A and B are shown apart, each in its own frame.
Chain A
Amino acid sequence: MTPSPAASLRTTIDPDEVDKFARLAETWWDPDGPFRPLHRLNPVRLEYIRSKLIQHFGRDSRSFLPFDGLRLLDLGCGGGLLAEPMARLGFTVVGADAAAENVRVARHHAANIGLAIDYVHSTAEELAQWGERFDAILALEVVEHVSDVGTFAAACATMLKPGGALVLSTLNRTLRSYALGVVAAEYLLRWVPVGTHDWNKFLRPSELARALRGVGLELSDLTGMSFSPRSNQWRLTDDLTVNYLGLATRSRA
C-alpha cells in the first residue's frame, strides 16, 4: 500500500529525477547492471556507516548484530542496497524512496532473501509529518538530488531522536567533481547514465554543515571517498574534493 500525500504537501522531490530512477529500478541488484558503480561503492559506504554508528552508539565492534534494538531510516533507499545490510546488522529498518518502482523492487528482494524491512513510497517530509522517529537516518547519494537542502535537513532533524545520528554522502561542487563526477562518470566511463547528476546541486562541505547547523544538527565528521583505478576499488580518504561522507548528530538534550 502506498500512502497518498495531501496535494498541498510541500515536497523536495523533483519529478524528473523520480522518473529517471524508476526506469532503472528493475536492475538494481545486478552487480554488473546499471547500478554497478553503487555496488562497487557499497563496501566503503558500509564500512563508514558501520564504524561511525558503532562508535556513536557505543556498540561492540566485533558483534555481528551491533545495532540490535535501534531503529533506522534509509532515505532514497533505491533497491535496498544499504537497507538490507543494515537489517542484517540488527537495525529495525524503514526504507523510503520517492519512486514507487524502487520500493516495489526493494520489497520483492527483501522478501525473497528473507529480511523483514518496512519499505514505504514516501519522502523525508511526509515521514516527518507522520511523526516517525529514528535513532539513525541514512541519506546517501541523496542530497544532490533534492530540490531544497534546507527543507530536507529540517525533516531529518525532526525525525531524529535526541542523541540520534544522520549519515550523509554527496558530491562536492569543485572543478574536480565536475571532471570526475559528471564528465568522466557519465560521459567517458559511462558508469552512470548521462543526466544522473546536476553539478549545480552538488554541495560544498561548508554548505552542508551550514544547512545542518540551521536545523540543530552538528556535522562531526567528514571523510572522502575516492576511486583508485590501480586497485579498481573505492577507499576512504581525507580528500573531500569529489565524493564525501559525513556524520551529523543531534544532541542528547
Chain B
Amino acid sequence: MTEHVIGADVIIVGGGAVGTTFAAMTASAGLSPVLIDREAPKTLAAEPFDGRAFAFSYGTKRILETMGVWSALDNDAEPILAIRVSEERSPFFLHYVHDDLGPDPLGWLVESRHLRRALHDAVARSGVRFLAPASVEQDTRDAYSGIVTLADGRRLRAPLIVAADGANSPLRTRAGIAVTKWDYGQIAIVTTVVHERPHRGIAHEHFRAPGPFAILPLRGNRSSLVWVEQPETARALLALERPDFDRELRTRFGDFLGTVESSGPIWSYPLRLRLARRYVAPRLALLGDSAHTLHPLAGQNLNLAFRDAATLLDVLVDARRRGEDLGARDVLERYERQRRGANLAMFAATDGLNRLFSNDRLWLRGLRGLGLAAVDRLPGVKRAFMGYARGSGGNLPSLARGESP
C-alpha cells in the first residue's frame, strides 16, 4: 500500500468559531483532532475589522476561561452590565441589572476579529493539525471508520467526523439528515455604530413591529447594532449612501447616546431557522450552526454552539476513558440526548418572543406591556429567565464548570 492516509481521533470540518474551539479543546484534552478549513488560516486571522460581534453568555466565557483563551479576549470584551427591553409605543420596559443575578455581568460583547485571532492562537498552541486551505471532496462513513477525501487527493481517516461547516452544512446534507426550515421574512442589518456619549454597559433590546432593534455595548463609545426589518425596507436601507443610511439610523436609534453614525462594513442576513432533526448519524456529529440556527434575537447561536462543543468533548473523553469507539452510535447518541432537547427549548423561547413582538395588533401590545411589567416585578421569574439566557442553568459540561473533562 503506497497511499498515505492521515489518521486522527476526530476530523473536524469547518474552521469557524465552533470548529476551531472544538479542535483546540479536543487537542488539549489529549485527543487527536484534524481541522479542515477552506480558507488559509493566515487570511482568516489577518481579516480586517468586519463589524460583527458576538454576545457571550457567562457559560461561554467560562468555557473560554477554562480553555485558557479568555485572557486573550478580556481586554477587548465589553461587559453588559444591564439590559433594557422596551417596546414601541409602550410605556413599560424591563430593566435587568446584573446585580439581580450576582456579581457577574449579564454577558460580554466580543468582536469577531478578536475572537478569531484568539481561537487561531489556541489552535496553534494546542498542536491541532490544521489543514487549510483544503476542501472536502468526499466523505464516506461505514461500520469501521469515517474517511474524508480532500480536493488535493489527501485522505483522512478517523472514527468520527464532526460537521462544523455552517448553517448550510454540506456534510449534513450528504448524510441525509432532514432539516426543519423556517424563513422569518425578516432581514437583520448588522453594523457597528459610534456614538457621542458612553453606553455605560447597557444593552438595549427594542421591539418594533418589523422586528427587534438591538444596541449592544462594545469597547469605547461604540455599539454593535442588530437592526431587523422587513425585506423591502431592509433592501431600501442597504441601497442608501452612507450619510442617508445614517440619517435613517438616527430616526430609529434616537439621541439618548448623542450623535450616532455607522462605522465599518454593513452586513445583512436573511433571518432563517434551521433545526436538524438529528444531531448525529453513523460516525458523524453536527456541531453549532450545522445542527441549529435560531433567530438571532437572543444572540444565542454562538452560545449554544459552545455548549454543544463542550458537551461533545465530555462525551468523547468519557468514551475514550472507557475504551469505546468514538464514532459508535450509542456514544454519539449521548451527545444528541444532552443537546437536542436543550437547544429546542431555547428555540421555543426565542421564536416565541419574536412572534409575540413582531406583531402590531393592539390587544397583543397591551398584553406584552403587561407581560414585561409582570416579569419585571417578579424577581424569581426574572432571575430564572435571565439565568437561562446567560447559559448558567441546566446540566453544565465540564469546561463550563471550570473543570477539564
Chain A residues within CB distance 8 Å of chain B: 29, 31, 39-40, 42-43, 46-47, 50, 62, 64, 84-89, 109, 112-114
Contacts and interface: CB of A to CB of B under 8 A. Distances in A.
A114 B143 CA distance: 12
Interface of B: 30, 143-145, 159, 320-325, 328-330
Contact of B321 (A42, A64, A112, A113): A64
Given A31-B328, A31-B330, A64-B30, A113 B144 contact: yes
Contacts of B159: 113
B324 A43 contact: yes
Contacts of A46: 322-324
A88 B143 CA distance: 17
Contacts of B328: 31
6 contacts: A29-B143, A31-B330, A42-B330, A46-B324, A85-B322, A89-B323
Contacts of B144: 109, 112-114
B284 to A, nearest CB: 15
Nearest to B157: A114
A84 B325 contact: yes
A39 B333 CA distance: 13
A64 B329 contact: no
Contact of B323 (A29, A31, A86): A86
A64 B328 CA distance: 17
Contacts of B30: 64
A88 B328 CA distance: 14
A112 B325 CA distance: 13
A190 B258 CA distance: 73
A185 B30 CA distance: 40
B322 A87 contact: no
B155 to A, nearest CB: 15
Contacts of A43: 322, 324, 330
A84 B323 contact: yes
Given A112-B144, A113-B145, A85 B330 contact: no
Given A46-B322, A113-B159, 6 more contacts: A31-B328, A31-B330, A46-B324, A64-B320, A112-B143, A112-B144
A113 B144 CA distance: 5
A40 B330 CA distance: 8
Nearest to B333: A31
Interface of B, helix, strand, loop or mixed by DSSP: loop
Contacts of B321: 50, 62, 64
A46 B321 CA distance: 9
A31 B329 contact: yes
A109 B144 CA distance: 8
A29 B330 CA distance: 12
- Residue among A31, A50, A64 facing the most chain B CB atoms (10 A cut-off): A64
Contacts of A40: 330
A40 B328 CA distance: 12
A109 to B, nearest CB: 8
A46 to B, nearest CB: 4
Q: Which 6 A-B pairs have the closest CB atoms?
A: A85-B323, A88-B323, A46-B322, A89-B323, A112-B144, A113-B144
A89 B319 CA distance: 11
Nearest to B29: A64
A86 B325 CA distance: 11
Nearest to B329: A31
A24 to B, nearest CB: 17
Contacts of A29: 143
- Residue among B143, B144, B159, B323 facing the most chain A CB atoms (10 A cut-off): B323
Contacts of B330: 31, 39-40, 42-43
A89 B321 CA distance: 7
A100 B143 CA distance: 22
Contacts of A39: 330
B274 to A, nearest CB: 28
A65 to B, nearest CB: 10
A125 B329 CA distance: 36
A50 B324 CA distance: 12
A100 to B, nearest CB: 22
Contacts of A113: 144-145, 159, 325
A40 B331 CA distance: 11
B323 A50 contact: yes
- Residue among A40, A84, A86, A113 facing the most chain B CB atoms (10 A cut-off): A113
A87 B324 contact: no
Nearest to A85: B323
Contacts of B325: 84, 113
B399 to A, nearest CB: 15
A182 to B, nearest CB: 25
- Residue among B145, B159, B328, B330 facing the most chain A CB atoms (10 A cut-off): B330
Contacts of B322: 43, 46-47, 50, 85, 89
A47 B319 CA distance: 10
B170 to A, nearest CB: 26
B402 to A, nearest CB: 17
A87 B323 contact: yes
Contacts of A84: 323, 325
A62 B398 CA distance: 14
Nearest to B317: A64
Contacts of A85: 322-324
B311 to A, nearest CB: 17
A84 B329 CA distance: 16
Contacts of A112: 143-144
Nearest to B331: A43
A40 B159 CA distance: 20
